[in-house]
């Protein structure tokens, strides 16, 4: 099973390293859907799976609660969180408030080397899309977004996004409109490569809102009754989210 290790290895690892390994594995299981909404996280079973004591498992679960992936239904029952429409709307509002702004900065600060990296990621995404390889598509799309954020050249912006990055990946993993995502990412790349911040923000905003509609449709079986409320601003001001 994914994440399983031998007891001998666990004995040689510092407790903090064990906790981080368990946390990373469980987080990825949730994001990828191997652990679904409502699934229980049982300390004893997870300790056996990873070949560790219950202490790092308990600490990893607490970290997942803080990150918004799981919740304590009772003192003895911990489950993967079921996202509500309000949860989804709030996360996409954050994307509009930050990631579109990042796209505008990326357009004004992009280097030839950074643009070449984005083109390479798009080529990889095209091959994965043709193969309908969901895991690879998700990984590449995440790297594409991360690269745009890095191109913005604003460390504070990155630090603000980091605590919710996993939950955003959790949501975007549920959007399986892969050819459309590829088309949108190509358009966003062209906008960033143009060096026009307003154009980049506009394409990023369209992408975020299209992703919002697709995600709500997939999760709840209906079109959203509203759109994220963040204001993308004027051509001279900050926009929001680059999906």
Q: Are residues 100 and 68 in the same domain?
A: no
Whether residue 98 is found in the same domain as residue 193:
yes
User: Could you give the CA distance from residue 96 to residue 36 in angstroms, rounded to a whole number?
Assistant: 27
Last residue of a domain, one of 38, 59, 80: 80
Q: Which domain holds residue 150?
A: 85-220
CB 144 within 8 A of CB 125: yes
Query: Which residue among 80, 101, 132 closes a domain?
Result: 80
CATH number at residue 34: 1.10.10.10
pLDDT at 235: 43
One domain, residues 93 and 190? yes
Same domain, 122 and 176: yes
Looking at the structure, tell me whether residues 58 and 109 fall in a common domain. Answer: no
| Whole-angstrom distance, CA of residue 99 vs CA of residue 114 | 17
26 closest CA partner among 77, 78, 61:
61
Q: Which pLDDT value is given to residue 174?
A: 74
Chunked mean pLDDT (size 10), the chain, 243 residues: 48 85 95 92 96 96 94 93 92 92 97 98 97 90 94 94 87 83 97 98 95 88 66 40 36
One domain, residues 93 and 155: yes
Q: What is the pTM of this model?
A: 0.79
Q: What is the CATH number of the domain that holds 160?
A: 1.20.120.530
For residue 235, tell me if it sits in a domain. Answer: no
Q: Rounded to whole angstroms, how far apart are CA atoms 121 and 203?
A: 18
């Amino acid at each position: 099973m994914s994440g399983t290790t031998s007891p001998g290895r666990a004995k040689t690892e510092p407790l903090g390293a064990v906790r981080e390994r368990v946390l990373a594995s469980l987080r990825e299981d949730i994001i990828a859907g191997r652990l679904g909404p409502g699934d229980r996280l049982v300390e004893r079973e997870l300790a056996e799976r990873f070949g560790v004591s219950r202490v790092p498992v308990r600490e990893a679960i607490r970290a997942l609660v803080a990150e918004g992936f799981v919740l304590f239904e009772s003192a003895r029952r911990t489950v993967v969180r079921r996202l509500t429409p309000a949860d989804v709307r709030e996360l996409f509002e954050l994307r509009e408030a930050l990631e579109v702004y990042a796209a505008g900065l990326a357009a004004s600060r992009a280097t030839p080397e950074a643009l070449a990296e984005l083109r390479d990621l798009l080529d990889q995404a095209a091959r994965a899309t043709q193969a309908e390889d969901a895991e690879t598509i998700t990984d590449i799309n995440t790297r594409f977004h991360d690269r745009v954020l890095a191109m913005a050249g604003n460390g504070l912006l990155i630090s603000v996004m980091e605590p919710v990055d996993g939950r955003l990946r959790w949501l975007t993993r549920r959007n399986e409109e892969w050819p459309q995502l590829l088309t949108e990412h190509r358009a966003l790349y062209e906008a960033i490569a143009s060096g026009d911040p307003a154009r980049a923000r506009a394409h990023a905003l369209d992408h975020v809102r299209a992703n919002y509609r697709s995600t709500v449709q997939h999760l709840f079986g209906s079109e959203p009754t509203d759109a994220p409320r963040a204001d993308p601003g004027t051509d001279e001001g900050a926009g929001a989210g680059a999906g």
